[in-house]
Amino acid sequence: MSGHVHDLVGVGVGPFNLGLACLAEPLGLDAVFLDRADGFRWHHGMMIEGATIQVPFLADLVTMADPTSEFSFLNWLKHTGRLYPFYIRENVYPLRAEYDAYCRWAAARLTSLHWNHEVVAIEHDVEDDVYIVRAMRTDTGEQREVRARHVVVGVGTRPTMPQSLRRLGGPVIHSSEYVQNREALRSAGSVTVVGSGQSAAEIYRDLLDGIREGGYRVDWVTRSPRFFPMEYTKLTLEMTSPEYTDHFHALPLGLRQHLGREQRGLYKGISGELIDDIYDTLYRLSVDGPVPTTLLTDTEVLAAEWNGERYRLRLRHGQLDREHERETEALVLATGYAAETPPFLAPIADLLDWDGLGRLAVARDYSVDGGRGRVFVQNGEEHTHGLTAPDLGFGAWRNSSILAAVTGREVYPIERRIAFQHFGVPDDALAPAAIGVAR
């Protein structure tokens, strides 16, 4: 790899860089993608039976950029003999396990993906004006070097835990590791799920299934004042549009910070169907007597202690500003994910743009290198681009934009206006007239 200069190197192979690899494949683009894993895996810790992704199948790796692509979800269904069953099912939301299998199928068809390569540093060769990506083979320890004109960082987000709940000891897990630990959790006498979103709801619902046979209790604690459903109305969905992304990106940093917190419920809420299913399950279970469960809203976990047998949780009720304590034998933290600045960017940090909070200042075209259009970021720009950053449905649009910058031409048509509504002041708005006061 070391002597040749590639057009593009992608770091990380999640759904977004995998989609980029698929869209780059038919272009004759000299691209390679490196990932430290030994193969594609997507949220395997949350592969709960029957769980679906929260976007329609059109939000696959390629369709919204190129509906004719051989890497489409529909083509995978055809190749695996599932197209007609999917059609008869009449549900546009693929199973989570289905989406993972589809991505692994697409990955297996590409020769540009290199697994077991952990990127340790990215440097800039001033003389040749290329980037040097240094990687280590995780299976052999061999050092590798890749040279490229463009770099796309797509390492995604990392599981997060509240500071007060880190390094606790005992059976505490993040939701990203739920399935691997499910049986151990069900063998505990009591389990507490902490979190407000879809993952917390799915885990709570899954644990309810074994609550009678297993003889355990399961509690759910959330800081939210209620169990918020994800808003999925069509005009709200227009906020996952190029126009709203333009609007959000142009706002001042402080306002973007405020909106980022305010808009979390638009894409980090719980599906209404799941909320109803949880209620119906509790109702069904209650026929045989009180259900050993407690749901606590507007309740924050301030601290926890592990005494070798159980946790003692210190909680605070928000509205009442009142603290209380509970005990549990196991703890599941469905506390989300967050973007981090990869340490391998340190050697080129002075070539990149940063905001006032020390984060990458991602330009509208997803570049981070002062307008040169050579270094790009995938799913690390929620603070600059808003709720389209983690949205699977917008990934193909972002990849179309990145490929246009890399190739110098708009290979895949980029829709710039798709919304019926305006998010700022319309271009044809009249200037305010001076209004006199009659005396």
pLDDT at 37: 96
pLDDT band at 359 (very low <50, low <70, confident <90, very high): very high
d(CA 77, CA 197): 30
Q: Is the pLDDT of residue 80 over 60?
A: yes
Return the structure tokens found at 57: 């199948």
d(CA 20, CA 106): 12
- What is the mean predicted confidence (pLDDT) over 251-275? 89
Neighbour-count burial of 349, counting CB atoms closer than 10 A to its CB (0-12 exposed, 13-18 middle, 19+ buried): exposed
Q: Is the pLDDT of residue 267 over 80?
A: no
pLDDT band at 439 (very low <50, low <70, confident <90, very high): low
Mean pLDDT of the chain: 94
Q: Is the pLDDT of residue 71 over 90?
A: yes
Return the structure tokens found at 243: 């126009």
Which of these, 51, 44, 45, 42, lies nearest to 273 by C-alpha position? Answer: 51
Residue with tokens 């396990």: 97
**Alpha-carbon radius of gyration of the chain:** 24
pLDDT at 3: 79
Which of these, 262, 231, 250, 234, lies nearest to 421 by C-alpha position? Answer: 234
**216-233 pLDDT per residue, tens:** 999 999 999 999 898 889
pLDDT at 227: 93
pLDDT band at 2 (very low <50, low <70, confident <90, very high): low
d(CA 76, CA 84): 12
d(CA 143, CA 139): 11
Residue with tokens 């991602």: 362
d(CA 245, CA 228): 24
Which of these, 278, 297, 266, lies nearest to 54 by C-alpha position? Answer: 266
Neighbour-count burial of 277, counting CB atoms closer than 10 A to its CB (0-12 exposed, 13-18 middle, 19+ buried): middle
Q: Is the pLDDT of residue 428 over 90?
A: no
pLDDT at 7: 97
pLDDT at 431: 85
pLDDT at 24: 98
pLDDT at 232: 85
- What is the mean predicted confidence (pLDDT) over 17-34? 97
**294-347 pLDDT per residue, tens:** 999 999 999 999 999 999 999 999 999 999 999 999 999 999 998 889 999 999
Amino acid at site 410: E
Q: Is the pLDDT of residue 264 over 80?
A: no
Burial 28-50 (b: 16+ CB within 10 A, else e): ebebbbbbbeeebebbebbbbee
| CA dihedral over 417, 365, 64, 424, signed as positive or negative | negative
**112-143 pLDDT per residue, tens:** 999 999 999 999 999 999 999 999 999 999 99
pLDDT band at 435 (very low <50, low <70, confident <90, very high): low
- What is the mean predicted confidence (pLDDT) over 106-114? 98
d(CA 64, CA 394): 8
- Contact between 208 and 278 under an 8 Å Cβ cutoff? The reply is yes
- What is the mean predicted confidence (pLDDT) over 389-414? 96
User: Residue 157: how many CA atoms within 13 Å on its side-chain side?
Assistant: 18
**152-208 pLDDT per residue, tens:** 999 989 999 988 888 888 889 999 999 999 999 999 999 999 999 999 999 999 999
